[in-house]
C-alpha cells in the first residue's frame, strides 16, 4: 500500500482546488449570508464529473476510485465546508445506496440525473431518538396490497429540500424478526420516496450555527404511499445495507474535515506573513510559528489517516476501524485548527465575512455529524476487543 497519489489523482485534486479557489471561495460569503444552496455551483460541479467519480462508466459514472472522491471533497472543503458536504452526502448517502442496492429499473430512473449533478438525493435515517441507534427507529411502513404506507418523521436530513432534490431514501420499520439469540428486534427496510410524493412534508430549514449553505431539513411522512417496486434492496436489510455506506461516508467526512483543517492553515499562514505588529510580521514570533507548525502537523496526520482508509476501501480490505480513526483524528484537527487560526487572526477571525470565522462556526459539526466522536471511540475500542 502506498500513500503517494497517482498522476491522475493529483491532477484531479489540483483541478478541484482551482475550481474551489476561482468559483466557490469568491461566492462563499454571499451564499452563507443568504443561507441558500447555490444550485448553479452544484451544476458546475456536475459538469466536472464530481458526483459520478466513484461509479463505473457503465452506469454513467467517471470510473474513478473512492480516494478520488475524497480528494475532491477535501479540495472543496478548504474553501467552503457547505459545498463539500453537499457533494459528500450527495454521493455517499444519496447515490451510493441506489447504485449498490437498487434494481436495474431504479438505477435507470434515478442515476442519470444524480451522477451528473442535475439532481440530488437524500438519506432519511436519523430521527429524534434514532441516529447511531437505528434500532430505535419509529417510522413505520405498512404493506397495503402492492404498496407500502409510510408514517413517521426524520430530522437533520441533508440535501432533502433543495430545488433539485429528486428522491429521498427512507428507513422504516416493516415488522419484527427473531435473532439467532432468541431476541425479537425491529425489521428495518428502506424505500425510495420521490420528492413531491403526497404526504411527504419537508419542514423549514434548520437555523444552524454553521454550514449555512448546506441544505438540511426535518421531514414528516403522513400516509406516504409508495409502490412495492420502490423498496430499496431486500426487505429487512434496510439498515444492514447502509452500514457500509455509513462507514464509507466517515472516510469522505474525514476528507472534508482535513480540507477544513488545511483551509484554516493556509489562511492563517498567509495572514501571519502579511500582518505586521511592532515592526515585524507576526509569523516571526515563535509562538505563532509553532502554532502554525502544529496546525500543519494536524492536517498532515488527518490526511494520512483518510488516505489509508480510502485506499483500504479501494483495495476491498476491512476498513471499519480505520474509517472511525480517520474521522476522529480529522474532526479534532479541523476544530483545533479553526480555533488556532481564529486566534491568529484576532478580531478579523470573529467576522462572518472571514473564511476563518466561517470555518470556526462550521468545524464543530465535524465532531458530531456522521457519528459523534464518542461513537468513533466506541467503534475503535470494539476493534481492540473491548466491549465499549
Question: Is the Cβ–Cβ distance between 327 and 257 less than 8 Å?
Answer: yes
Blockwise average pLDDT, block size 10, the chain, 388 residues: 86 98 97 95 97 96 97 98 97 95 96 97 90 82 96 96 96 88 88 97 96 96 97 90 86 98 98 93 95 98 97 95 98 98 95 96 95 94 91
Each residue of 333-350: pLDDT tens digit?
Answer: 999 999 999 999 999 999
Determine the Cα–Cα distance for residues 388 and 382; give it in Å rounded to an integer.
6
- Predicted confidence at residue 2, as pLDDT, reads 67
Rg (CA), the chain: 21
Determine the Cα–Cα distance for residues 315 and 280; give it in Å rounded to an integer.
50
Collapsing DSSP to helix, strand or coil, 154 comes out as strand
Residues 6+ apart with CB under 8 A from 59: 99, 107, 111, 115
Nearest Cα residue to 112 out of 166, 40, 158, 191: 166
C-alpha distances in angstroms, 3 versus 6, 67, 360?
Answer: 9, 11, 29
Collapsing DSSP to helix, strand or coil, 226 comes out as strand
Determine the Cα–Cα distance for residues 255 and 257; give it in Å rounded to an integer.
5
- Predicted confidence at residue 303, as pLDDT, reads 98
Kindly tell me the sign of the dihedral angle through the C-alpha atoms of 193, 198, 200, 203. positive
Kindly tell me the sign of the dihedral angle through the C-alpha atoms of 255, 291, 362, 29. negative
* Residue labelled with grid coordinates 488527518: 302
Instruction: Please give the DSSP secondary-structure letter assigned to residue 317.
Output: -
What grid cell was written down for 64?
A: 474513478
What grid cell was written down for 31?
A: 451564499
> Would you call 314 exposed, middle or buried from its count of C-beta atoms within 10 A (0-12, 13-18, 19+)?
middle
Determine the Cα–Cα distance for residues 262 and 333; give it in Å rounded to an integer.
9
- Predicted confidence at residue 305, as pLDDT, reads 97
- Report the catalytic residues: 370
- Predicted confidence at residue 271, as pLDDT, reads 96
What grid cell was written down for 291?
A: 502554532
Question: Is the Cβ–Cβ distance between 90 and 121 less than 8 Å?
Answer: yes
Determine the Cα–Cα distance for residues 106 and 230; give it in Å rounded to an integer.
8
Collapsing DSSP to helix, strand or coil, 148 comes out as strand
- Predicted confidence at residue 1, as pLDDT, reads 59
Domains observed in the chain? 7-120 (1.10.540.10), 121-235 (2.40.110.10), 241-383 (1.20.140.10)
Q: Where are the alpha helices (DSSP H) in the chain?
A: 7-19, 25-34, 39-47, 66-77, 81-89, 96-101, 104-115, 240-274, 286-314, 320-345, 355-363, 373-383
Angle among Cα 154, 160, 163 to the nearest 5 degrees reads: 155
Amino acid at each position: 500500500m502506498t500513500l503517494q497519489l497517482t498522476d491522475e489523482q493529483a491532477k484531479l485534486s489540483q483541478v478541484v482546488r482551482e475550481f474551489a479557489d476561482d468559483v466557490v471561495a469568491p461566492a462563499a460569503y454571499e451564499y452563507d449570508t443568504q443561507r441558500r444552496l447555490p444550485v448553479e455551483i452544484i451544476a458546475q460541479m456536475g459538469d466536472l464529473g464530481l458526483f459520478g467519480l466513484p461509479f463505473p462508466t457503465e452506469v454513467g459514472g467517471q470510473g474513478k476510485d473512492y480516494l478520488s472522491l475524497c480528494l475532491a471533497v477535501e479540495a472543496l472543503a478548504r474553501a467552503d465546508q457547505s459545498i463539500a458536504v453537499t457533494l459528500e452526502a450527495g454521493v455517499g448517502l444519496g447515490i451510493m445506496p441506489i447504485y449498490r442496492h437498487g434494481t436495474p429499473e431504479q438505477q435507470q430512473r434515478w442515476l442519470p440525473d444524480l451522477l451528473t449533478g442535475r439532481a440530488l438525493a437524500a438519506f432519511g435515517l436519523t430521527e429524534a431518538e434514532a441516529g447511531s441507534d437505528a434500532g430505535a427507529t419509529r417510522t413505520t411502513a405498512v404493506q397495503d396490497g402492492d404498496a407500502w404506507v409510510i408514517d413517521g418523521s426524520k430530522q437533520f436530513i441533508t440535501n432533502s429540500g433543495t430545488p433539485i432534490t429528486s428522491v429521498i431514501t427512507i428507513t422504516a420499520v416493516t415488522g419484527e424478526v427473531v435473532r439467532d439469540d432468541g431476541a425479537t428486534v425491529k425489521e428495518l427496510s428502506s424505500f425510495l420516496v420521490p420528492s413531491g410524493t403526497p404526504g411527504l412534508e419537508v419542514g423549514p430549514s434548520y437555523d444552524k450555527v454553521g454550514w449555512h449553505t448546506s441544505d438540511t431539513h426535518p421531514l414528516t411522512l403522513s400516509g406516504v404511499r409508495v409502490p412495492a417496486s420502490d423498496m430499496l434492496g431486500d426487505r429487512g436489510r434496510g439498515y444492514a445495507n447502509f452500514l457500509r455506506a455509513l462507514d464509507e461516508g466517515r472516510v469522505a467526512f474525514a476528507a472534508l474535515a482535513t480540507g477544513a483543517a488545511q483551509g484554516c492553515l493556509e489562511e492563517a499562514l498567509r495572514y501571519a506573513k502579511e500582518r505586521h505588529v511592532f515592526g515585524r510580521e507576526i509569523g516571526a514570533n515563535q509562538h505563532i510559528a509553532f502554532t502554525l507548525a502544529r496546525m500543519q502537523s494536524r492536517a498532515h496526520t488527518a490526511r494520512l489517516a483518510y488516505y489509508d482508509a480510502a485506499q483500504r476501501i479501494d483495495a476491498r480490505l476491512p476498513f471499519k476501524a480505520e474509517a472511525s480513526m480517520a474521522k476522529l483524528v480529522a474532526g479534532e484537527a479541523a476544530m483545533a485548527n479553526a480555533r488556532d487560526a481564529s486566534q491568529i487572526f484576532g478580531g478579523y477571525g470573529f467576522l462572518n465575512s472571514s473564511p476563518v470565522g466561517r470555518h470556526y462556526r462550521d468545524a464543530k459539526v465535524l465532531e458530531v455529524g456522521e457519528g459523534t466522536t464518542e461513537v468513533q471511540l466506541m467503534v475503535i475500542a470494539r476493534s481492540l476487543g473491548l466491549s465499549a
